[in-house]
Every structure is written in structure tokens, then in C-alpha cells.
């Protein structure tokens, strides 16, 4: 019997060898965190140096000092640790004494911003626009002491550009702009409204974050200009994850008219992704 038991135990040991979790070098050591957005490394200037995008203050393509990311470490599918890391002088640091550690079999995933709860209906201010713009990484295994996160846009960006009619007067005065469609905030079937953000009062460009429905959606645009409300429909917008949908509109004969549309890069170094259909 003793011999049989010994053979049985040996069989178990050899039979499970292909499922054994390899211990990574540096097991239990604090991990070093690296993070980028879409692998964007900056806009190349004429001098050959790189700089951040002009819209980075409200629409991140590069992380800046004091930004926080929330990293979740899971083991066996269960959240083992959730820590916020803060960027300081190019280095991501955890709260004192709370660094994530390297563990065989664990996985790591990060999100930004840490205060994201849902897409905000009112995005007319930069803080709400930024709060609506969820960035998330893939789930990464524990393979070394350095975890290099690449953040991707989870939602969809909508950009509206207004131009005066050809031969018409220049715009002057305030605009108020809302877009409406089923599921713009949640992806459901209920009509939902998003008030867009205008980053520069000298330019007639508005941005908004909407839910990535991934299906043909007709979006109603309501523009109030000089106390008159104009309405038009943007037809067949598919609202794909991580894409920016740009529409150019104008007012002709007191009618709001779309005159151009394009899918554009969200971050500056991405390539054009095709037509809106």
C-alpha cells in the first residue's frame, strides 16, 4: 500500500506540472508602474522636441503631474488590492506603505479618472467633461517588477464645429448646444441629453463624451443662438468605442444644416479610421 500511495502522489505531482504557476523574479517586491494613453508620446515640434496636445487640459492624451490612476490587483479573480497611484515628476507613486507587490498568478488593471462613475449629462465645464472620459487598460499578468499600462478610451467623442454660411455674416454672441438620442449616457433606449463643452470662447467648436453604442444612432442637435433655437439630425452615427465623430454645421436660411462629417483620431498620432457609415 505504501508503494501504491507513493506512486499515486508522484503521478499527481507530474500530472499537474503544466498548471504550475511560475514564480516571477522579484516575487513580493513593489511593482514599478508606467502608464501612457494610446502609446502617445507627444506632438513633434519644428525643433524636434515633443510637446503635449493643446487640448490636454480637458481631454487627456498625456498624463500630467498630480493625475491619479486607480489600479486593481486581483488574485484568483477576486480583488486583492485597490490602490491609487499619483504622477509626480514623471514617476507614479502609491500612498506611503501601500505599494502594489508582484505576485505569481495575480493580474493588474488600471482606470482613469479615479472619480469616474458614469457619463455626465452636463459637460459644459471641463471638470465634468474630464470626469466623463473613462480610460482603461487591459488586464495584465504579473510577469516582471515593471507593469507598463496602456490606457484606451472606453467611450466615444462627439465634436461639433460651426461655421458661418458662405457669404454670410460671422457669428457673434452666445451659443447653447445640446445633443439628444436614445442611450447617449447609458446605452439604453431612453432619450438622453448631453450638454457639450466649448473649450475656447473664440472658436465655435464643442466636444462631448457619449456612450459607445456601436449601432446606428440618429442624434438630434439643438442649437440656441441669439434667442432662436435651431434643430437638425445627425443620421446613422455608429458611436464606436474609442472613436471621435466630427460634424461641421452651419445656419443657412435660418435652418441648421450639417455640411461635413468625419471620423477623426482621438489622440493626435492615431490614423484616420474611415467614413461615418
Rounded percentage of the chain residues whose pLDDT exceeds 90: 61
Buried b vs exposed e over 80-99: b needs ≥16 C-beta within 10 Å? ebebebebeeeebebeeeeb
Distance CA 72, CA 107 (A): 8
**Dist CA 224 CA 236 (whole Å):** 23
Q: DSSP string spanning 69-89?
A: EEEEEEETTEEEEEEEEEEET
d(CA 147, CA 144): 7
Q: From CA 134, how far away is CA 151, in angstroms rounded?
A: 9
What is residue 265's predicted lDDT score, i.e. its pLDDT?
78
For 185-191, what is the mean pLDDT? 97
The predicted-structure confidence for 64-103, as pLDDT tens digits, reads as follows 999 999 999 999 888 888 999 999 999 999 999 999 999 9
* Single pTM value for the model: 0.83
Closest CA to 164 of 243, 223, 251: 251
* pLDDT band at residue 34 under the 50/70/90 scheme: very high
Residue 81 confidence (pLDDT): 82
- Helix, strand and coil in the chain, % to nearest 5: 10, 45, 50
For residue range 134-159, list pLDDT tens digits in order: 999 999 998 889 999 999 999 999 99
Distance (Å, whole) CA 239 – CA 135:
16
Query: End-to-end distance of the chain based on CA atoms, in angstroms?
Result: 72
By CB atoms closer than 10 A (0-12, 13-18, 19+), residue 53 is: middle
Domains detected in the chain = 23-153 (2.60.40.2620), 156-264 (2.60.40.2630)
Specify the range with the lowest mean pLDDT, choosing from 3-17, 76-90, 146-160, 229-243. Answer: 3-17
SS3 216: coil
Whether the pLDDT of residue 24 is over 80: the answer is no
**d(Cα 257, Cα 234) in Å, to the nearest integer?**
10
The 3-state DSSP class for residue 156 equals: strand
Alpha helices (runs of H) in the chain, residue ranges in sequence order: 2-15, 126-132
Amino acid at each position: 500500500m505504501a508503494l501504491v500511495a507513493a506512486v499515486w502522489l508522484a503521478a499527481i505531482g507530474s500530472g499537474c506540472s503544466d498548471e504550475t504557476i511560475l514564480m516571477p523574479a522579484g516575487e513580493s517586491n513593489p511593482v514599478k508602474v508606467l502608464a501612457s494613453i494610446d502609446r502617445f508620446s507627444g506632438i513633434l515640434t519644428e525643433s524636434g522636441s515633443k510637446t503635449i496636445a493643446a487640448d490636454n487640459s480637458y481631454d487627456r492624451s498625456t498624463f500630467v503631474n498630480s493625475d491619479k490612476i486607480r489600479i486593481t490587483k486581483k488574485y484568483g479573480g477576486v480583488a486583492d488590492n485597490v490602490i491609487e497611484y499619483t504622477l509626480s515628476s514623471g514617476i507614479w507613486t502609491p500612498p506611503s506603505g501601500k505599494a502594489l507587490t508582484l505576485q505569481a498568478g495575480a493580474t493588474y488593471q488600471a482606470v482613469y479618472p479615479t472619480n469616474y462613475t458614469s457619463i455626465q449629462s452636463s459637460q459644459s465645464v471641463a471638470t465634468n467633461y474630464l470626469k466623463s472620459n473613462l480610460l482603461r487598460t487591459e488586464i495584465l499578468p504579473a510577469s516582471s517588477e515593471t507593469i507598463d499600462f496602456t490606457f484606451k478610451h472606453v467611450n466615444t467623442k462627439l465634436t461639433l464645429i460651426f461655421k458661418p454660411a458662405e457669404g454670410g455674416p460671422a457669428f457673434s454672441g452666445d451659443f447653447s448646444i445640446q445633443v439628444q438620442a436614445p442611450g447617449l449616457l447609458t446605452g439604453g433606449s431612453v432619450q438622453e441629453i448631453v450638454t457639450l463643452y466649448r473649450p475656447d470662447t473664440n472658436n465655435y467648436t464643442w466636444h462631448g463624451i457619449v456612450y459607445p453604442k456601436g449601432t446606428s444612432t440618429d442624434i438630434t442637435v439643438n442649437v440656441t443662438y441669439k434667442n432662436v433655437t435651431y434643430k437638425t439630425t445627425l443620421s446613422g452615427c455608429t458611436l464606436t468605442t474609442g472613436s471621435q465623430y466630427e460634424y461641421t454645421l452651419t445656419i443657412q436660411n435660418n435652418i441648421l444644416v450639417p455640411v461635413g462629417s468625419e471620423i477623426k483620431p482621438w489622440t493626435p498620432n492615431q490614423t484616420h479610421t474611415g467614413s461615418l457609415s
